[in-house]
Amino acid sequence: MPDDPHQPDEPEPLPFPEPPPGESGESDESGVLRFLRRAWELIVGPARRLTDPALFHKVSLAAFLAWVGLGADGLSSSAYGPEAAFLALGEHAFLAIPLALLVGFTVLIISASYIRIIERFPAGGGGYVVASKLLGPSAGLISGSALIIDYILTITISLAACSDSLFSLASPNLQPYKLAFTIALLMILTILNLRGVRESVTIISPIFLIFLLSHVGAIVGGIFLNAHRVPTEFHHLAVQSTADIQVTGWLPLAMILLRAFTLGGGTFTGIEAVSEGVPLLREPKVETAKKTMRYMAVSLAFVASGILMCYLLYQIQPVPGRTLNAVLWGAIAGQIFPPGSPLGEGLVAIILVSAGTLLFVAAQTGFLGGPRVLVFMALDRWVPSRFSNLSERLVASNGVYLMATGAFAVLLATRGNVHLLVVLYSINVFLTFALAQLGMVRDANNLRRQGRPWTGPMAISGLGFAVTGFLFIGTVMFKFMDGGWATLLVTAVVAAICVSVRRHYTATATSLRRLDEALTTIPVTNTQPNTEPMKRNAQTAILTVTSFGGLGIHTLLNLFRIFPNQYKQVMFVSIAAVDSGQFKGIEEFEHLRENTEAELKKYVEFTRRLGIPADCRYAMGTDIVDELETLCLSIYEEYPRAVTVGGQLVFQKEDTVTRWLHNQTCPALQRRLAFHGRPMVILPVRVY
């Protein structure tokens, strides 16, 4: 008959001294640390509860909020995209009509093709996942690297343009402080995103609405007041283009239109972000994403094309110190209100300020899309796995930090010069667009081979590939020598770093696989497992493990080899870590919980077949160290003669980069437990 687990056993020497009274469960956290922790919680908000039944509703975005958070990038580019395109026409301003039609048509085509991506890849990931799944890992790497750089540049150019717009209304004496102001905006937006996606979008949504209402109203008013000029401009287009073709041929005229079209290409950015951010959206996610894409497509096509048409109808000419948009809004207000009217001046001020502040909102697209790309690349091992981790606020905070750091570096390197940033911008987004559409062309071809409807998908994706590929070639052609080469070079460097990271993870996985093969199949001498219950006062090893495999078994066997006859029983502990890969719904949580419990039971069964009593405990959370600390301290209350043990991968040539690529759970937990007077043994597991 087994001993009563609640009766004291014969005293045995502890491998470490007992903690002094009062220190076993009390934190020695200093007052300063407590103050900093509370201050940080006040800034970014308290931790969210994974057990909250309304959790996914609280953190997800409805179609309107998704339109605000993901559509602002495209709409804000109307502050500089149409202007760049129109000025590139030079003396051929009559080409603004086909240019406006081409812009609107392109936005609608790209959006329609991305709706197909949403339908075919409802888990999100956008162009990166499409390229990876349909064109191969190399294409996915190029797409992902390009998107990371593009989203960093999205944040940078949006904030820099915002500062330019706002400082144009300020005294010239304040110009030296513009860069510092831009960096302050970056810090504010970073903190907002650390609080949560929905919180950040909700705060900035009024700015978006003011911009949309003021710009749509001004464009509609401008076209309505000059509707009588539309037939005249179409007639002028036909006459002038015919005359130019007779003199120089159609090719020079087409090149002028192409150059204007590519230089105004910033208008099309932001479409990609919706397909990447599907996991952020409210159920039903696919329908919400499709609705968001339609909102974005219609609003972007109307505003961009409408501004170009208004330029032509009002015969807008450049004015020193003012943007073309400022001249246009002044002309529209002057037609509605008497000259010098405060109402007219107020209307222009509202439109200009809303445009400037929307550029601040547009930077949000980079903070939403960039971390999502890093999440998917982390799951594929192109970037460190910690980029898939979630903070207590259920935010991919490491991705947010990287986006903010990258934007800060670019701001310092360019001094926030918008003209230079425009050159660097938009090359990568068209590269990603083209790869995504090429992948969907291949998907349509697969549908044809399977005998499924394919003509519609092939037409949409084929046209999307033709347009985006054309735009990419043209953008590189016209921007390369002006500094566009720097964007491509940095993208290549990022891709090279990703290759190195994946090679390291692959080599480590190969070593661990050999360890699994060697240890998970070792024979055990006992045919019948030990069924004795765990005893309260027996010396207990609290062994931290993950999934059942060679790493955990190696640590277990090494423990008994180094400390023979010391530990009489083992308590296996593990954390069901909720990262971005699992944060998709309640059903994913249940699957994660069941899988964690099943893996722990394998350890318990293996240990009991070695003749040693064993049991297991687990918890669920986003911060593994926090959850392990709480779990271990609770086990100490139940088994006071316990010592925590963990296995840590060690490399022959270990450096800062290697340590950063792998989690440092054991050292971090050891420091945490030391505050409670509890020792922890870390056993090395060598990786060759």
Q: Does domain 67-503 have CATH number 1.10.3720.10?
A: no
What is the pTM (predicted TM-score) of this model? 0.71
Q: Rounded distance, CA 26 to CA 676, Å? A: 6
Interval 7-27: pLDDT, tens: 444 444 444 444 444 444 444
User: In what helix (H) or strand (E) does residue 541 lie, and over which residues does it extend?
Assistant: strand 540-544
Amino acid at 624: I
Indicate if 522-687 has the same CATH topology as 67-503: no
Q: Rounded distance, CA 387 to CA 402, Å? A: 9
Higher pLDDT, residue 437 or 281: 437
Mean pLDDT over 538-563 rounds to 87
User: In what helix (H) or strand (E) does residue 573 lie, and over which residues does it extend?
Assistant: strand 569-577
Q: Give pLDDT, residue 15.
A: 42
Q: Where are the domains of the chain?
A: 67-503, 522-687
Task: Quote the percentage of the chain above a pLDDT of 70.
Answer: 80
Query: Are the beta carbons of 534 and 5 closer than 8 angstroms?
Result: yes
Q: Give pLDDT, residue 43.
A: 54
Q: How confident is the model at residue 47 (pLDDT cuts 50, 70, 90)?
A: low
Q: Give pLDDT, residue 160.
A: 87
Which residues lie below 8 Å from residue 19, measured CB to CB, with a gap of 6+?
Answer: 676, 677, 678
Q: Give pLDDT, residue 405.
A: 92
Higher pLDDT, residue 554 or 79: 554
**Residue 371, preceding bond cis, omega within 30 degrees?**
no
The count of other CB atoms within 10 Å of the CB of residue 163 is 25
The count of other CB atoms within 10 Å of the CB of residue 29 is 12
Query: Are the beta carbons of 643 and 540 closer than 8 angstroms?
Result: yes
Q: Give pLDDT, residue 8.
A: 40
pLDDT higher than 60, residue 392: no
CATH topology of domain 522-687: Rossmann fold (3.40.50)
| Residue-by-residue DSSP string for 310-350 | HHHHTT---BTTB-HHHHHHHHHHHHHS-TT-HHHHHHHHH
Interval 255-265: pLDDT, tens: 888 888 877 76
Q: How confident is the model at residue 497 (pLDDT cuts 50, 70, 90)?
A: very high
Which residues lie below 8 Å from residue 422, measured CB to CB, with a gap of 6+?
Answer: 80, 84, 157, 266
